[in-house]
């Protein structure tokens, strides 16, 4: 018994996380495409605009994160740097330096700054593994991940308020 | 509106439709099986068939975890296709580490009668030292493999506390195995842990028989 290729493509995408194709290729049926102009990331299409946030209404625990507080703070620090114009949409955002993100994170945490940087580096990798960030370790840059494109604009108010309260990255080359 | 699901959802009124969507999102994204008492579309067989059809669009199916509890997993024929795809199969070091966790946290306690026969959840963590020694992986590679297995929900870290040693146990994805997948995993574990045992010989003989039958029918 062979599997319908479109069904298999959607199953495969779930295994791969958030796969990407070039903008020249058509987005296969059953996906929402998030394009940055060069590539298109294939995000799952959910029925009736539902998101996994729906689980909260039903008192149902989502897949657990190892250190949810730290993961959220590192994601916030990264977004503070690569989503500079908060009135725009967060996707596709722009490249930010990893060292800037680490400094913003250090500003949010108490205790040993070197240790905080090390924790945050591991967390950036985990957030990249799961599609929340796009991390280029060789170039030392990070930008928002395609999953961010799934956030509905009307739900972004509290996140924008929170990010406005975070310290901005210190730019040595700033005028 | 989603074009993918519309043909399945079109005939339902607004309330039923919302119940179907809630059940679908819950079984796809929950950490553990969800009780049907909380989801009307899992409770009623006719609606449950529609949830099953919604999952089928992505190669998924409903898995009954316990009485009146449900979660989703890959359909068996889809899992077989994915396993044969080199882009989808995890690399050898991750598989090796996961196998060690299953042997230490499940196979050994099960052989000692400390775990139920069909459970892949375990309260017995595999110490990281054991993983380092048996996997023979450099510590950096072992840590990277464990990070990816944790992110994928295939292992869960258990913190050390009091007299309890820390380590790793099978993760929440093991709730999502179909009956056939559980059987296959059980057989693979026997083949890995006791390749020379009579049980392993029986499994190999049965598999040879099955592939001969499939070969004949082609």
Q: Are residues A21 and A84 in the same domain?
A: no
Residue A130 lies in a domain: yes
* Cross-chain residue pair A7–B59, CB shorter than 8 Å: yes
Instruction: Indicate the number of domains in chain A.
Output: 2
Of the ranges A85-94, B45-54, B112-121, which one carries the lowest mean pLDDT score? Answer: B112-121
C-alpha triplet B209, B213, B218: angle, nearest 5°: 150
Same domain, B54 and B111: no
Distance (Å, rounded) from C-alpha B179 to C-alpha B185?
10
Is there a domain that residue B85 lies in?
no
pLDDT in tens, A99-108: 999 999 999 8
Evaluate if residue B189 carries a pLDDT over 50: yes
Instruction: Provide mean pLDDT across the span B56-79.
Output: 95
Phi-psi sector, B193: left (phi>0), alpha (psi -120 to 50), beta? alpha
The answer on A96 and A133 residing in a single domain is yes
Is residue A106 in some structural domain?
A: yes
In a domain, B132, yes or no: yes
Instruction: Establish if B172 belongs to a structural domain.
Output: yes
State which H helix or E strand residue B144 sits in. Answer: helix B139-151
Q: In B, which residues are within 8 Å of A54 by CB distance?
A: 21-22, 25-26
Residues of the domain holding A126: 68-165
pLDDT attached to residue B216: 56
Contacts of A44 in chain B (CB under 8 A): 58
Distances in Å between the Cα of A80 and the Cα atoms of A28, A90, A136, B25, B42 are 33, 10, 17, 30, 41
> What pLDDT, on the 0 to 100 scale, is given for residue A175?
45
User: B131 and B102 share a domain?
Assistant: yes
Position B214 pLDDT exceeds 70: no
Mean pLDDT of the region B54-69: 94
**B1 occurs within a structural domain:** no
Q: In this structure, are B29 and B62 located in the same domain?
A: yes
B126 lies in a domain?
yes
Q: How many residues does chain B have?
A: 218
Is 60 exceeded by the pLDDT of residue A173? no
In sequence order, what are the beta bridge partners of A44? A31
The pLDDT of residue B215 is above 90: no
Q: What is the CATH number of the domain that holds A85?
A: 1.10.10
Contact flag A50-B85 (C-beta cutoff 8 Å): no
Token pair 């099953």 in the structure block, residue:
B52
Residue A172 lies in a domain: no
Alpha helical stretches, state H, chain B: 6-9, 14-29, 40-43, 45-56, 76-83, 92-102, 108-111, 128-135, 139-151, 179-193, 198-217
Report ipTM (2 d.p.).
0.88
Structural domain contains residue A139: yes
B148 CB near a chain A CB, below 8 Å?
A: yes
A15 within domain boundaries: yes
In a domain, B148, yes or no: yes
Report the distance separating Cα B88 and Cα B93, nearest Å: 14
Flag whether residue B156 sits within 8 Å of chain A, measured between CB atoms: yes
Q: What is the SS3 assignment for B58? A: coil
**Are residues B120 and B155 both part of a single domain?**
yes
Distance CA B100, CA B183 (A): 18
Question: For the segment A124-145, what is each residue's pLDDT rounded down to a tens digit?
Answer: 998 998 899 999 999 999 999 9
CA distance B210 to chain A (A): 16
Host domain of residue B49? 6-79
Which of B32, B56, B79 marks a domain boundary?
B79
Closest CB from B17, B59, B147 relative to A126: B147
Give the pLDDT confidence of B10-29 residue by residue, as tens digits: 999 999 999 999 999 999 99
Kindly give, in sequence order, each residue whose CB lies less than 8 Å from that of residue B36, ignoring residues fewer than 6 positions away: B42, B43, B68, B69, B70
Residues in chain A: 175
Please tell me the distance from the alpha carbon of residue B196 to that of residue A102, in angstroms, as a whole number.
53
**DSSP state letter for B30:** B
For A3, the closest of B32, B34, B77 (CB atoms) is: B77
Q: Please name the residues between 76 and 115 in chain B that touch chain A, using a CB distance below 8 Å.
A: 77-78, 81-82, 85, 87-88
What pLDDT, in 10s, does the model give residues A14-73?
A: 999 899 999 999 999 999 999 999 999 999 999 998 999 999 999 999 988 878 899 999
Query: CA B122, B123, B128 angle in degrees (round to 5)?
Result: 90
pLDDT of A174 strictly over 80: no
């Amino acid at each position: 018994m062979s599997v319908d290729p479109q069904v298999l493509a959607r199953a495969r995408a779930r295994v791969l996380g958030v796969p990407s194709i070039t903008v020249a290729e058509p987005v296969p049926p059953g996906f929402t495409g998030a394009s940055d102009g060069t590539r298109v990331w294939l995000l799952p299409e959910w029925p009736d605009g539902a998101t996994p946030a729906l689980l909260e209404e039903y008192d149902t625990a989502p897949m657990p994160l190892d250190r949810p507080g730290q993961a959220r703070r590192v994601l916030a620090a990264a977004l503070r740097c690569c989503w500079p114009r908060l009135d725009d949409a967060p996707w596709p955002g722009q490249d930010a330096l990893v060292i800037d993100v680490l400094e913003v994170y250090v500003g949010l945490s108490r205790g040993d700054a070197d240790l905080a940087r090390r924790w945050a580096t591991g967390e950036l990798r985990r957030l990249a593994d799961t599609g929340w960030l796009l991390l280029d370790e060789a170039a030392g840059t990070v930008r928002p991940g395609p999953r961010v494109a799934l956030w509905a604009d009307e739900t972004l108010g509290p996140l924008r308020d929170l990010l406005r309260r975070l310290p901005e990255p210190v730019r040595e080359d700033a005028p | 509106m989603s074009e993918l699901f519309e043909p399945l959802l079109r005939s339902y009124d607004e309330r039923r439709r919302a119940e179907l969507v809630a059940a679908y999102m819950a079984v796809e994204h929950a950490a553990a099986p969800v009780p049907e008492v909380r989801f009307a579309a899992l409770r009623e067989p006719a609606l449950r068939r529609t949830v099953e059809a919604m999952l089928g669009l992505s190669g998924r199916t409903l898995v009954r975890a316990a009485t009146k509890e449900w979660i989703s997993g890959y359909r068996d024929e889809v899992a077989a296709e994915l396993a044969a795809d080199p882009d989808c199969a995890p690399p050898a070091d991750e598989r090796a580490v996961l196998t060690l966790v299953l042997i230490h946290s499940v196979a050994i306690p099960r052989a000692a009668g400390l775990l139920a026969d069909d459970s892949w959840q375990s309260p017995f963590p595999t110490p990281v030292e054991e993983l380092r020694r048996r996997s023979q992986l450099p510590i950096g590679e072992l840590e990277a493999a464990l990070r990816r297995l944790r992110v994928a929900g295939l292992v869960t870290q258990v913190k050390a506390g009091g007299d309890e040693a820390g380590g790793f146990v099978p993760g929440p994805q093991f709730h999502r195995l179909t009956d056939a997948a559980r059987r296959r995993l059980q057989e693979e574990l026997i083949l890995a842990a006791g390749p020379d045992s009579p049980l392993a010989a029986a499994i190999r003989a049965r598999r040879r028989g099955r592939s001969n039958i499939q070969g004949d029918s082609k």
